[in-house]
Amino acid sequence: MAGPMIEFEIDVSELLRLAAAVPVLERAIEEESGLAMEESGMLLTGMVAARTPVNYGLLRSSISWPAGFETQGSILDTLRGIVGASDKPGTGGTSTATYVWYVEEGTGPHWPPAGPLKLWAIRKFGDERVGYAVQRAIAMRGTRGAHMFQKSWNEGGRSGVTRIWDGVPVKSMARFRGAA
C-alpha cells in the first residue's frame, strides 16, 4: 500500500493449478474469483469511507472501487485491485484526487482559504470566528493526517481480503455442485 490508496495483489496461481487439474471447475473458479475481487473492493471501500473525515462529504463519496481488476504475470497468475479517491471537483477548485493526499498524510503549515473553514465553523459551532482560529492554527502547525487508507488496511482490511480469498476454492466447489 502506498499513498492514499489501497493496492492489493492476489496470487491466484493455486486456483489456476486447481482449474488445470480439474478442468470442469474452471468456470466456477473464474466466477468465484470475480466475485471475491468485487467483495474485496467493496469491503475496503466501505472501511476507508467510514474512516474518511467529512466536511461536505465530497471526499468520502469519492472513495471508490473501480469496476474490474487488472491481471498480471506471465500466465496471468496475479490479480491486482485498487481502492482510492476518484477525481471529483471539490470545494475551492481542488479535486478530490489531489485533496485526498492532504487528508491521508497531513500537511505542513500553510494558510488555508477562510471560506470553507468559516462554513464548517458555522455548521459545527454556530460561530464563523472559530474558522479563523482554525485557519491560524493550520498556518502555524499544519494538519494531522487521518491515515484512513492505512488504518483500513492494517485494522482488518488485509485480513478481510485474505478471508474472502481463502473461501474461493470452497465456494467454487459449491457453485460447481449446484450447476451439475
- For the chain, percent of residues with pLDDT exceeding 70: 88
Rounded Cα–Cα distance for residues 161 and 78 (Å) = 14
Among 27, 63, 45, 41, smallest CA distance to 178 is for: 27
Among 24-28, 94-98, 135-139, name the one with the lowest average pLDDT: 94-98
Classify residue 34 by its DSSP letter: H
At position 169, the amino acid (one-letter code) is P
pLDDT above 80 (res 120): yes
Among 16, 18, 24, smallest CA distance to 176 is for: 24
pLDDT (0 to 100) of residue 75: 47
**Residue for cell digits 470475480?**
34
Looking from the CA of 43 toward its CB, the CA atoms found within 13 Å total 21
Among 56-60, 100-104, 117-121, name the one with the lowest average pLDDT: 56-60
pLDDT (0 to 100) of residue 3: 59
52-73 pLDDT, tens digit each: 988 778 888 888 877 555 555 4
pLDDT, the chain, mean: 86
Distances (CA, A) of 166 to 15, 32, 62, 163: 10, 11, 29, 5
